[in-house]
Every structure is written in structure tokens, then in C-alpha cells.
Amino acid sequence: MSHRMLRDARTYGVLLRIDEEFAAATRAAGCPCGGHLHSARYPRKPRGGPADLPAESPKRLSFCCEREGCRRRATPPSVRFLGRRVYFGLVVVLICALTQGATSKRVARLRQLAGDVSARTVERWRGWWREVFPATPLFRELRGRLQPPVAIEDLPQSLLDRVNAAEPCDRVVGALRLVSPITTSSASLAAQPS
């Protein structure tokens, strides 16, 4: 795994394209009431990404039903945003994975690369990976599908290790794809990271 991904705008571009694919599938499925879905993107103010991101990067892709009386929102899964976290999902996954077993000097450097994320925030993220995420139905499903089973105490690194990809960037993208269902409203609020 490389910390360079934290500052590489191309990686964030790849994640945006994946989110656009998820959004196209959600829009094509339409609303359960039969209505068409219209774009209802909303701005986010994610932290941790490079300064040269495209204007679309901080927008959460979402839709709203056209039918009066329904107006139901349909928000597809995302590989860019990990629930309601303020930081990009890539930052959360990489910082937590790269700080496992790292020296305090390396941890400080990683936190600086992600926009001076606080030590408390990193610990909160690591706690979410160790305590909250393993209690979700998504994790139980993943743990049953991935071999050898994902080790809770080594999350998210153990999840990254299960993604079959040669390039580190592809491994991170694969892991973000695996956890993307937790980013939708269908996931329980308890499972959403803070």
C-alpha cells in the first residue's frame, strides 16, 4: 500500500467514475413506485483529498423520484464517501491500513498527508473498523465469502489483503467496492461511520 494514493487526483477520478456507474444503475432501475429518477446531487465537503480534484468530486450522486406524492430519494452506493464521514473513504481506509503497526513518526506523516487529521479521529476510525463494522450484516456476508476469513483485529488491512489485484490502487478500489453497500440509506444508521 502506498501513501501516494492520498494525493493522486487520478485515483479520485477512478472512484468518481465508479460512483457514476453505480448512479447509472440506480437511475436505470427507477423508483419502486414506477416514477423516473431525476438528479438530486448534493454537495459534500470532504477532507483529505488533493487540491486539484475536479469540481464534481465533492458532490454525492443521488436521485429523487419525479412523481408528486412520492419524491423518494434514491442514493446509490459510493466508493468515494464512507457513510457520513467527513474524509474521503480512500483516506479512511488507507490511513487505518497504513497505521497498523507503524511508528509514531510514520503515523504523523500519514496524518499530515491527509490534511492534518487528528490522532483522535484516526483512533475513532480504527474503532469503527474493529467494533462497529464487524457487527454489520455486510461484514458477516463478506466474512463468509472471503477466504481466508477477514480478521477483525486487522481491519481494514485484512480486507485489502483479500482483494485479488496486483496494483495497490486496484486493491484499495476493490475494498471500497466491497464496503460500498454500507454507504446507502438501506444500511442501518448504527453501521454508518461518524
Q: For the segment 87-96, what is each residue's pLDDT rounded down to a tens digit?
A: 999 999 988 8
> pLDDT tens-digit profile of 14-68?
999 999 999 999 999 999 999 999 999 998 888 888 888 877 788 999 999 999 9
Give the tens place of pLDDT for each residue, 62-72: 999 999 999 89
Whether 2 shows a pLDDT value over 70: the answer reads: no
Q: CB-based contacts of 137: which residues, under 8 Å, 6+ apart?
A: none
Residue 148 has pLDDT above 50, yes or no: yes
In this structure, are residues 50 and 12 in contact, taking their beta carbons and an 8 Å threshold? yes
How far is C-alpha 156 from the geometric centre of its chain's CA atoms? 12
The DSSP bridge partners found for residue 159 are none
Lowest pLDDT segment from 98-102, 141-145, 160-164: 98-102
pLDDT tier for residue 1 given thresholds of 50, 70 and 90? low
Confidence of residue 157 (pLDDT cuts 50, 70, 90): very high
H or E segment to which residue 38 belongs: strand 37-39
Contacts of 78 (CB under 8 A, 6+ apart): 19, 22, 60, 61, 89, 180, 183, 184
